[in-house]
């Protein structure tokens, strides 16, 4: 029997167009199929293994080129009846689209040959900033750079393209986006977040989930996976997978809203926090995974574990005396699928736990029901992926690359521009130095052809580095790479020096650091000091995934440009921005600290303004959240705020008073002067990105629900701001005496 029930399909087997009645039919079909499954088959549906388990070679040392082992396929599907496979082989490298289709075809064929249930394998992958494990795909800025665009439409377009190219590779499930809030800049995965602010991150969450899943789920969409639920991004030490301590009020105010938004949008899947929250590993937390996630938030999709995290309840967290106890803890806490991923112990132990009566089979039914429904939602059947090769004509296309170009162009943030040293004039001599000058790895970051993104062998051969893009666009005779020795000793130095500083790509534990400060070679520092003394303009270009401390380098530079981690299309828009073809419009999605010991967020409390002299200048970041310069100037006037039907209707007038066209991010902040819990000095509540020609003005209208202007009270319930509320946009302020 074909797994995708034709009675609920409109068009080809990859499209499911639900109505209420169709949904009811689907639920009936899920129940009917569930009743046919044996206990072993149910356990198999709840297990997920890495591709390396099926490949020739040792686990995490697979043969290259990768190929499947017939005996291993038989073991996985005939004996253990595995229902899901992930990624590319325990840290292996990207594959061609053709090879992905062949591999997944072979996996589905083995599943059909060795099992009787006819349920297809569900393949999942980390397509973090594009289909980064498929050669020739389109790579976008990492999430922190996407947030810096302050343009949800661009983020949605990037997500749609990522979904298209991931699905074109035969893969329907994407372990993305990261919805953890980036409020711990030491954290190695900071670059995978949408920054520190709830309002901005929620808007980007909406855009990404909508782009991945679409309104009518079909064969150009993927199942999104919101991760990592809950609190993963705020480790006390800053190091990955180390203890997190967050009070419930802060958890609900800062860390939960993005997940609430994704659940509201019917995100299909969720990945669980690998670490521990307030002393309890989240994989063993019934209050988090069931009481909060299922009962309170109403999540109906599939909750998958992270890598080996069921086992780690025994091996690392030490809350389970045996692996058997660990499996029991995790399943009873509320996991649906275990990313095992390198063996079959989970299957054997779960089967034994059910047979012994320690876990009721009805508990498995809850999870398998969700998994079967997801597979139907995705339109999976045993049709060969190879039949799809004629489809997806836009894969890796120039039109997709243009979207990536635009995303990079709108993300790059001009932090400093003394004396209008930028943009550079055509023909200006530019001397380029720094570790990121001529490397694609610094542009791409982690999750780019390889897990850590450090192996240059797998970079796309036709993509340009910063040096190559500058030379291609503005002449090799005008753009020269120089050594620090030359820069320090040269008698004449016409033009400007571009110092490109990147952070070594890494994610998860390999990306841990002890100090937020970033260092450069001593020869480089001496060169920059010499250039400043000779009044040679230095332009500092940052390719960093977190706000590494650059205060001393900032003092040596006339201009500072933050490009984040822009991806393999990043060099050309960066070059074009430096020369004025692109007017910078990126804005910081985080507060840039002045020193490692002074990590204070923009939405800080009044007490954090207290300084050592009993003054109020304690909050003193290098650059504030939302900061970003343009090559033109914008003026604000005529701001008004009116409460209408449980909504603040906000209008502000904006004019481009400069001489060139540009984009402005209109940011509206509020401050509740008095509240049941100490109010923030300011909080973002709305924003819009507009484009204005010289002399053009626009009336920007924004609506903010009363419920978005408030906080979480001591009783853990949301409250709306009341009394004196101050709204600000640009230099305009409006004060209301408001009673909701």
Which amino acids are annotated catalytic? 306
Measured distance CA(365)–CA(39) in Å, rounded: 10
SS3 call for 201: helix
SS3 call for 480: strand
Neighbour count for residue 332 (Cβ, 10 Å): 17
- Distances in Å between the Cα of 225 and the Cα atoms of 213, 261, 270, 498, 681 are 10, 13, 5, 39, 34
Neighbour count for residue 589 (Cβ, 10 Å): 27
Q: Which residues of 441-467 are buried (b: 16+ CB within 10 A; e: fewer)?
A: bbbbbbbbbbbbbbeeebbbeebbbbb
Instruction: List, as one string, the DSSP characters of 700-726.
Output: EEEEEEGGGSEEE-TTS-EEE--EEEE
Specify the residue for token string 């419009």. Answer: 585
Q: Which pair of tokens denotes residue 554?
A: 């900032």
Count Cα neighbours of 50 within 13 Å in the Cβ-side half-sphere: 21
Pairing of strands 173-174, 122-125: parallel
Specify the residue for token string 């060969």. Answer: 384
The closest alpha carbon to 686, from 328, 247, 198, 286, belongs to 198
Q: Residues with Cβ < 8 Å from 302, sequence gap 6 or more?
A: 268, 269, 270, 336, 337, 367, 370, 371, 374
The closest alpha carbon to 671, from 679, 663, 662, belongs to 679
Using only C-alpha atoms, the chain has a radius of gyration, in whole angstroms, of: 26
HEC string for 262-313? HHHCCCCEEEECCCEECCEEHHHCHHHHHHHHHHHCCCCCEEECCCCCCCHH
Specify the residue for token string 């933050």. Answer: 562
Measured distance CA(478)–CA(288) in Å, rounded: 58
Measured distance CA(201)–CA(180) in Å, rounded: 9
- Distances in Å between the Cα of 75 and the Cα atoms of 5, 339, 352, 603, 701 are 28, 17, 18, 54, 61
Report yes or no: 502 and 439 within 8 Å, Cβ to Cβ: yes
Pairing of strands 538-543, 496-502: parallel
């Amino acid at each position: 029997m074909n797994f995708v029930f034709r009675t609920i399909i409109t068009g080809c087997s990859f499209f499911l167009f639900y109505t209420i009645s169709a949904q009811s039919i689907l639920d009936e079909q899920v129940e009917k199929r569930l009743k046919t499954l044996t206990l072993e088959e149910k356990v198999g549906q709840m297990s997920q293994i890495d591709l390396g388990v099926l490949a020739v070679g040792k686990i995490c040392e697979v043969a290259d080129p990768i190929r499947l082992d017939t005996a291993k396929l038989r073991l996985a599907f005939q004996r253990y009846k595995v229902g899901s496979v992930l990624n590319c082989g325990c840290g292996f490298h990207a594959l061609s689209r053709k090879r992905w289709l062949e591999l997944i075809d072979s996996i589905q064929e083995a599943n059909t040959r060795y099992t009787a249930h006819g349920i297809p394998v569900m393949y999942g992958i980390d397509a973090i900033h594009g289909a980064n494990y498929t050669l020739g795909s389109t790579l976008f800025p990492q999430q922190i750079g996407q947030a810096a665009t302050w343009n949800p439409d661009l983020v949605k377009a990037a997500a749609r393209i990522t979904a298209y190219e991931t699905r074109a590779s035969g893969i329907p499930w994407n372990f993305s986006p990261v919805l953890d809030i980036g409020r711990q800049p030491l954290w190695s995965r900071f670059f995978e977040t949408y920054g520190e602010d709830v309002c901005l991150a929620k808007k980007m969450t909406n855009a990404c989930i909508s782009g991945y899943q679409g309104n009518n789920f079909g064969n150009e969409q993927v199942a999104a996976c919101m991760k990592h639920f809950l609190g993963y991004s705020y480790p006390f030490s800053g190091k990955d997978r180390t203890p997190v301590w967050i009070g419930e009020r802060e958890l609900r105010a800062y860390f939960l809203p993005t997940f609430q938004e994704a659940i509201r949008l019917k995100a299909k899947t969720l990945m669980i926090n690998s670490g521990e929250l307030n002393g309890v590993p989240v994989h063993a937390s019934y209050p988090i995974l069931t009481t909060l996630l299922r009962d309170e938030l109403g999540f109906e999709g599939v909750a998958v574990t992270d890598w080996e995290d069921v086992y780690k309840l025994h091996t690392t967290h030490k809350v389970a005396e045996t692996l058997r106890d660990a499996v029991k803890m995790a399943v009873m806490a509320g996991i649906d699928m275990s990313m095992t991923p390198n063996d079959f112990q989970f299957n054997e132990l779960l089967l034994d736990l059910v047979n012994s009566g320690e876990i009721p089979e009805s508990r498995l039914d809850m999870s398998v029901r969700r998994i079967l429904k997801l597979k139907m939602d995705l339109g999976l059947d045993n049709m060969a992926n190879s039949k799809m090769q004629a489809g997806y004509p836009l894969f890796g296309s120039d039109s997709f690359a243009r979207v990536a170009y635009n995303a990079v162009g709108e993300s790059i943030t001009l932090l400093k521009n003394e004396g209008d040293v930028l943009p550079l004039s055509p023909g200006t001599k530019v001397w380029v130095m720094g570790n990121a000058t001529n490397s694609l790895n610094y542009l791409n970051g982690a999750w780019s052809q390889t897990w850590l993104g450090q192996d240059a062998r797998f970079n796309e051969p036709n993509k340009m580095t910063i040096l190559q893009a500058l030379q291609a666009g503005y002449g090799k005779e005008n753009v020269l790479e120089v050594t620090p020795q030359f820069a320090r000793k040269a008698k004449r130095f016409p033009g400007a020096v571009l110092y490109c500083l990147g952070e070594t790509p890494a994610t998860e534990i390999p990306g841990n650091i002890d100090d937020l400060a970033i260092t450069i070679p001593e020869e480089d520092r001496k060169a920059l000091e010499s250039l400043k003394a000779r009044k040679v303009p230095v332009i500092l270009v940052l390719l960093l995934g977190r706000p590494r401390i650059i205060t001393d380098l900032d003092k040596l530079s006339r201009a500072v440009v933050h490009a984040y981690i822009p991806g393999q299309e990043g060099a050309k828009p960066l070059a074009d921005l430096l020369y004025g073809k692109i007017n910078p419009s990126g804005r910081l999605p985080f507060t840039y600290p002045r020193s490692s010991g002074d990590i204070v967020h923009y939405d800080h409390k009044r007490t954090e303004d207290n300084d050592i002299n009993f003054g109020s200048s304690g909050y003193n970041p290098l650059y504030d959240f939302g900061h970003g310069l343009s090559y033109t100037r914008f003026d604000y006037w005529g701001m008004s705020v009116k409460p209408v039907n449980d909504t603040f209707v906000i209008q502000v007038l904006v004019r481009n008073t400069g001489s060139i066209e540009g984009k402005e991010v209109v940011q509206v902040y509020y401050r509740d002067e008095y509240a049941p819990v100490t109010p923030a000095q300011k909080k973002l509540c709305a924003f819009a990105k507009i484009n204005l020609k010289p002399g053009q003005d626009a009336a920007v209208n924004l609506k903010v629900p009363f419920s978005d202007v408030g906080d979480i009270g001591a009783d853990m319930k949301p409250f709306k701001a009341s009394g004196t509320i101050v709204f600000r946009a640009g230099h305009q302020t409006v004060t209301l005496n408001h009673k909701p």
